[in-house]
Amino acid sequence: MTLSPFPSIEALLGQAVTQYRAGRPAEAEKLYRQVLKLEPNMVQAQAGLALMLYLQGRPQEAIAAFRRAVEIEPDNADQLYKLGNMLLRDGEASDTRVTESFACFARHAALTFRPAVAPGEAAHRIKHDREQQAYLAEHFGLTTWQYHLADGGRIASAAVNPANSEGATHDWHKTHPQIIVVDDLLTPEALEKLRRFCWGSTIWRDTHPEGYLTAMPEHGLACPLIGQIDEEMRAAYPGILGTHQLRYLWAFKYDSKLRGVGTHADPSLVTFNFWITADEANLEPDSGGLTVWDVAAPADWKTQQYIGDTPACQAFLKRANGKTVTIPYRSNRAIVFSSALFHETDRMHFKDGYTNRRINITMLYGRR
């Protein structure tokens, strides 16, 4: 038997992984390219190539490689997530960047929805899902727990109210630290549609023991209406956002009997945090909003330190003698602040009932 002098595809893939683990992405890139010459439609190699390109500081080439991976396997949820994420976080500014990213996330959400409740699920999660199931049955006739998106399409009229733009921009440049309030951020039509989208969509995937649920873009939050809000906010607030692009977003929905988000900072430059639940739901109008410190997370802290390690953040703030400002909850109020500033949810007391749950949308702009 004559042995082939050429390494097999499996051997090349193994060598590529070895080079990657050894911290040699350029060598791994060459090996993945060899594999793709032999097997052009191998998603594993295409995704590996994309990652190696990204690690070498070539995000646009990495995006092109992930696009090819999605083209080969359009229903590969992992590649859809990676492409959507990279487009949003590292894509170049364009009219289609957010649209393409959101389309990837929407497909990912549909492919990864799991209707079964996980064993040992938190009581506040079970309570929320029961309330939402009743809402879905009443408004959409859905009698089983399933993936569902309410109408989150763009609206024909304006989504962002430009009336406060000039004053907000003036305050932004005169205030230190940079924390400003923008009331009536959205137009009434956009606000009402966004509420109904959040109520009627089974996008609340992550459960937090503190008492809130999270919807991420890849869970289905990335709807065209939010894309429209992003476009119009960048147009209305150029003096605040400048050339900063939307790099990530999320939504939180709370159980008002429990605590909210702990002390943390955001991985961006400018944070737009706004609330959409009606004011009538808030039983204590002087609270329920956001507390922001005048202290920023140190530049040398890793993301895991200023997100998710509340005790470490609080200890640092105590040493820094940080001072706070607390902004009360108001529906359609945005708190715009320098993302590095530490902040947390203020104590809250909202009415019972599904549509009374406090919901905030957070949109992050710029790279930290």
Does residue 244 fall inside a structural domain? yes
Q: What is the pLDDT of residue 118?
A: 76
Calculated CA dihedral for residues 132, 333, 244, 220, nearest 10 degrees: 10
Does residue 132 fall inside a structural domain? yes
Look at the alpha carbons of 202, 206, 207, 208 in this order and tell me if their dihedral is positive or negative.
Answer: negative
DSSP string, 177-225: S-EEEESS-B-HHHHHHHHHHHHH-----EEETTTEEEE-GGGTT--HH
- Domain end, chosen from 112, 138, 167, is at 112
Distance CA 240, CA 162 (A): 13
Does residue 41 fall inside a structural domain? yes
- Neighbouring CB atoms inside 10 A of 106's CB total 22
Per-range mean pLDDT, top range of 7-11, 114-118, 128-132, 254-258? 128-132
- Neighbouring CB atoms inside 10 A of 117's CB total 11
Does residue 4 fall inside a structural domain? no
- Domain end, chosen from 79, 112, 145, is at 112
Does residue 175 fall inside a structural domain? yes
Q: How many domains does the chain have?
A: 2
User: How distant, in Å, are the alpha carbons of 7, 8, 211, 255, 273 from that of 4?
Assistant: 7, 9, 60, 64, 61
Does residue 234 fall inside a structural domain? yes
Q: What is the pLDDT of residue 6?
A: 62
- Domain of residue 22, CATH code: 1.25.40.10
Indicate whether 96 and 43 sit together in one domain.
yes
- Domain of residue 228, CATH code: 2.60.120.620
Angle made by CA atoms 281, 282, 288, in degrees to the nearest 5: 140
pLDDT at 5 over 80: no
pLDDT at 2 over 60: no
Which percentage of the chain shows pLDDT scores above 90? Answer: 92
Residue 103, domain extent: 9-112
Mean pLDDT, all residues of the chain: 95
139 DSSP 8-state letter: H
pLDDT at 117 over 80: no
Indicate whether 129 and 257 sit together in one domain.
yes
Q: What is the pLDDT of residue 95?
A: 84
Mean pLDDT value across residues 244-266:
94
Indicate whether 227 and 306 sit together in one domain.
yes
Mean pLDDT value across residues 163-183:
95
Q: What is the pLDDT of residue 1?
A: 40
H helices within the chain, ranges in order?
9-21, 25-38, 43-55, 59-72, 77-90, 97-112, 123-140, 165-174, 188-200, 224-236, 238-241, 303-306, 310-319
Which percentage of the chain shows pLDDT scores above 70? Answer: 98
pLDDT digits (tens, 9 = 90+) for 313-359: 999 999 999 999 999 999 999 999 999 999 999 999 999 999 999 99
Indicate whether 104 and 133 sit together in one domain.
no
H or E element that contains 345: strand 341-345
- Domain end, chosen from 91, 112, 133, is at 112
pLDDT at 3 over 50: no
Q: Which two tokens stand for residue 336?
A: 């715009």
pLDDT digits (tens, 9 = 90+) for 189-232: 999 999 999 999 999 999 998 999 999 999 999 999 999 999 99
Does residue 1 fall inside a structural domain? no
Does residue 118 fall inside a structural domain? no
Indicate whether 103 and 132 sit together in one domain.
no
Indicate whether 134 and 234 sit together in one domain.
yes
